[in-house]
Structure formats: structure tokens, C-alpha cells
Amino acid sequence: MQPVLPPFWHPAFAHAFILDWDGVLAETHLDFSRIRNRYFQGRRVPLLEYARFLPEETRLELEKDIFDLEMHGADNAEPVPGAAELLDWLDNRGIPWAVVSRNCRDSIDLAARRTGIRLPRVVLSRDEEPVKPHPEALWKAARMLGVNSARCVMVGDFIYDHVGARRAGMRSLLVQRWEPSWVDWIDQACPTVVSLLEELDSPRPWVPWEYRDLARRKGTSWMESVWPLKVQIPTGSPDPASFAREAASLGVGHFLVEPGLALSVPRWEKSLALGREWLGQPLYESLEAYLAGRFPLAVVSEGVGGLDLPETGMEEALEEALA
């Protein structure tokens, strides 16, 4: 299998998979419209989160209605086509996987029995708070798998999966449905789990979400050319974080910081991006941590001799360097 290298990505090379349950592995055909109509006048609000605003007696009724609906759906659950094969694919390659769901654990266990879909060692339901889209739900799963969350991919069929993944710093893959308004939250979409399997068997470079606009504007050839360049962070820059972010948005993937530089008070005062916890710490570490949230593939290290770019007109300077 030919590896896919930065600035591109592919889930076949993820270190772990975090899978939603309902709609990805088991189909329970849950319809919450009646519950929304009864308790929230039909508004599409997150039921679990909004339950706490209800009087206690009403909240308990809501929780029972949700439980009953989930158990009924689980009792009639069907395996999602391709789900068993996806789990075989992961197990055959030694890739750990977990289930993280907003459903109750009883309904997950029942649906697993009805569908024959096996459950992994790590299963987090809504019985273990917090729930998606809170990032801690996904961070906890990654910790239990022993994998850095940045090396995980979240596979889900609903917006909460992808909001949670983005907050947790994970790659995000939408399957089994398409909703244009979710595009900003996902890295890629596959129409079905079966089509995801086909992609896993024949990986090709995918543009990650952070470079999607750049790829549309400048093309993937630009990305391939700019990525290997090592750019020097200007020693005298009053705001090195803004410099690094601008260069990273143009596809620069490697940054060098003069050895021994620390985040000084004057630099910190001019940089709204770097928190006070980085004061006095190595500058390259603070910049790498800053970029990780928005450009997780970028690398920052100590060194000299990198390409010098101006703080204004950076794109034009890169074009000249590549000419």
C-alpha cells in the first residue's frame, strides 16, 4: 500500500478509528420528531443537553421517552451494510477502534445482539458523561486506546460526531448521508460504509479540511511544492504566531526557530494567539502548539538557514521562490 504523505491524508493510515454506533455500525431508524414536538415545540435542539433546562419531573419523562425509543429501535436493529467488513479490515491490520455514542449503553448492547455486530473493548455511551460533541468523549476514547487523539479518525453520520471531532483535533469522516451544511466540519465524506471500505483498500491523497480553500485557490500542485520548504521564523518578528499562521495557510509545513529563543513578554504582549502559560518557554514549542489546533500537520523545530519570507507579500515571495 503506497503511503499518503503530508500535506495530504487518508484514513487508511490513521492510528485508530473512533466509530459512531447508530447509523455507522447498526441502523435503528430512530426518529426523535415526536419527542421534539412534545418537549420542545418541534425545535431541533440537542435533547440531552436541553433536558437540564426542564423541570425535574419533565426531564425524567423526557429521559424515559428517549430510553424507550432507543430500546425499541435497538430491538429492531439491522447491521449497516459493510459494517462487519469494516471491523474485519481494522482488526486484520491491527488498528484499534472504539465506539462512542450518544445512545444509552443498554440499547447499544441490545442492538449488538440483534445485528451480530461485535463491540470493541472501548465503548463509551451517554452513560459516561460528557457526550459528543464535547471533545472529552473522544479524548477519553483515544486515551483508552492508547493513541494520540491527533492520530485518530472519527467516523460518523451526524453533525455531533464531526463537531466533536473538530473540537478534539481529530480527522472527521462523514458516512451514510450527505448534508451540505456540514461540509465545514468534515475532512471527507463517503456515501456509504461500503464505499469507505473501497477507499481504504485503495488509498489516494485527500486534501484535509485545513487546506481545502488553498487547494481550490492554488491547486494541489502548489501544495506539493510549498510543503517541503523550510521557512525561518523571523527572529525580530513582534508576532511570530501570526507570521507562522499566515505561512501555514499558504501551505508551508515546516518552520525553523533560532535555537534558544523563548517567548518573551514583549512578544507575548503583541501576540493575541499565545497564552500566558507559554511565557518563558521555548518559542518553537509554543508555535507548534498554536499551529496544532489549525494546521496539525505542520512541524516547528529549532534551526537556522530556512527560507526568509517577508511578513507582508508572503504569497508573492513564495511564488518567486518556486519559480
Q: Are residues 20 and 164 in the same domain?
A: yes
Q: What is the pLDDT of residues 231-269, one digit of tens each?
A: 999 998 888 999 999 999 999 999 999 999 998 898 888
Considering the domain boundaries, does residue 221 fall inside one? yes
Same domain, 24 and 126: yes
pLDDT greater than 90 at residue 129: no
- Which of 206, 225, 254 terminates a domain? The answer is 206
The count of structural domains within the chain is: 2
User: Which band of pLDDT confidence, cut at 50, 70 and 90, is reported for residue 270?
Assistant: confident
Same domain for 197 and 110: yes
Same domain, 143 and 91: yes
Ramachandran region of residue 71, left (φ > 0), alpha (ψ -120 to 50) or beta? Answer: alpha
Closest CA to 156 of 120, 129, 188, 204: 188
Average pLDDT rounded to a whole number, residues 142-155: 97
Within a domain: 48? no
Mean pLDDT of the chain: 95
Same domain, 228 and 177: no
- Mean pLDDT of the region 295-319: 96
Q: What is the mean pLDDT of residues 27-36?
A: 94
137 and 223 in a single domain? The answer is no
Residue 117 belongs to some domain of the structure? yes
pLDDT of residue 271: 81
Residues 232 and 168 in one domain: no
Q: Count Cα neighbours of 261 within 13 Å in the Cβ-side half-sphere.
A: 25
d(CA 183, CA 174) in angstroms, rounded, equals: 9
* In a shared domain, residues 282 and 191: no
State the CATH number of the domain containing residue 240.
3.40.50.720
Query: Which pLDDT value is given to residue 126?
Result: 95
Residue 279 within a domain: yes
pLDDT for 210 equals 96
* Residue whose entry in the numeric block shows the C-alpha cell 534558544: 260
pLDDT in tens, 150-207: 999 999 999 999 999 999 999 999 999 999 999 999 999 999 999 999 999 999 999 9
Looking at 152, 177, 206, the residue that finishes a domain is 206
Residue range(s) defining the domain that contains residue 250: 215-322
230 and 317 inside one domain: yes
One domain, residues 16 and 145: yes
Long-range contacts formed by 312-320: CB under 8 A, 24+ apart: 314/246, 314/247, 314/250, 315/250, 318/226, 318/229, 318/250, 318/252
181 and 232 in a single domain? The answer is no
Alpha helices, DSSP H, located in 17-168: 33-40, 47-50, 56-75, 83-92, 105-115, 135-145, 159-168
CATH at residue 108: 3.40.50.1000
Average pLDDT over residues 71-79: 98
